[in-house]
Amino acid sequence: MQRYKCTISYDGTLFSGYQVQPQKRTVQSEIEEALKKLHKGSPIRITASGRTDAGVHARGQVIHFDSPLHIPEDKWVNALHSLLPDDIAVKKVEKAAPDFHARFDATGKEYRYFVRLSNYKDPFTRHYQFQYGYPLDIKQMKAAADYLVGTHDFTSFCSAKTEVEDRVRTILRVGIEMSREQLMFRFVGDGFLYNMVRILVGTLLETGRGLHQPEDMKTILAGKDRSLAGKTAAAHGLYLWEVFY
């Protein structure tokens, strides 16, 4: 048995998220189905760095799996491509140590979130950018983002349904870049709670509209209450960009 580390990208539009669910088309089930074919019917289980929700995209999701097949690293990509649907691409397959774990060994992640600043519909970006028509004060948003960097209890910025008890996470960087009518958020951190990036984006967008002041972020964090933060931004603007090991 050889353990493989595999970097994949996918367009989340037509998936009911990453994780296997009965009767649903998911990223995990499509990849496991392809691996099963490659292994002549033997089921192969994959483990990802984490789940992504329905509609969320990935540029650099990482998974691991074990295989008895002796395929050179560079042949894996083509072998899998011929068996995978068009909305999943394998970017890299590398041999890994037998105890490598895509989830537990991850030391951090980068997520990006794309917003299209317009009141006009655009058929070409409808699944790939969140459309937001309000005028935004980018300086206020950047000032608010500065309060989020560091180690905090992010209870206010995760779904109320989150079952994880330890909600302390470290955000290393929040970048906000504007070019023409596109706004790009970058979040780099040691880990992110359920819906955390989407709630951070929703709150920063509301700050840009003047509904919150930058220093409100301190109060929101301290309150440990989801209802203090802004709306959850739509899934289709979010990309799992990179996983660090």
Note the residues at the interface with a copy of itself (CB under 8 A): 9-11, 57, 77, 81, 86-91, 120-124, 126, 128
User: Largest alpha-carbon pair distance within the chain?
Assistant: 59
CA distances from 201 to 152, 158, 176 (A): 17, 12, 10
The nearer residue to a copy of itself, 81 or 173, going by C-beta atoms, is: 81
CB of 9 to a copy of itself, least distance (A): 6
Is 53 an annotated catalytic residue?
yes
Q: β-strand 2-10 against 88-96: which pairing, if any?
A: antiparallel
Which residues 6+ apart lie within 8 Å of 219 measured at CB? 228
Strands of the chain (E only): list them. 2-10, 47-48, 57-67, 88-96, 108-116, 130-131, 150-153, 168-179, 182-189, 238-244
- What CA–CA distance (Å, rounded) separates 209 from 198? 17
Q: Which of 11, 53, 99, 153 is catalytic?
A: 53
The nearer residue to a copy of itself, 14 or 164, going by C-beta atoms, is: 14
Place of tokens 């699944």: 127
Would you say 120 is a known binding-site residue?
Answer: no
Angle value at C-alpha 103, between 156 and 31, nearest 5 degrees: 110
The nearer residue to a copy of itself, 226 or 236, going by C-beta atoms, is: 236
The nearer residue to a copy of itself, 30 or 206, going by C-beta atoms, is: 30
CB of 86 to a copy of itself, least distance (A): 5
Give the Cβ contact number of residue 120 at 10 Å.
8
CB of 125 to a copy of itself, least distance (A): 9
CB of 107 to a copy of itself, least distance (A): 26
The nearer residue to a copy of itself, 85 or 108, going by C-beta atoms, is: 85
Q: Is 130 exposed, middle or buried (0-12, 13-18, 19+ CB in 10 A)?
A: buried
CB of 66 to a copy of itself, least distance (A): 24
| Residues with active-site annotation | 53
**Annotation: binding site for substrate:** 111
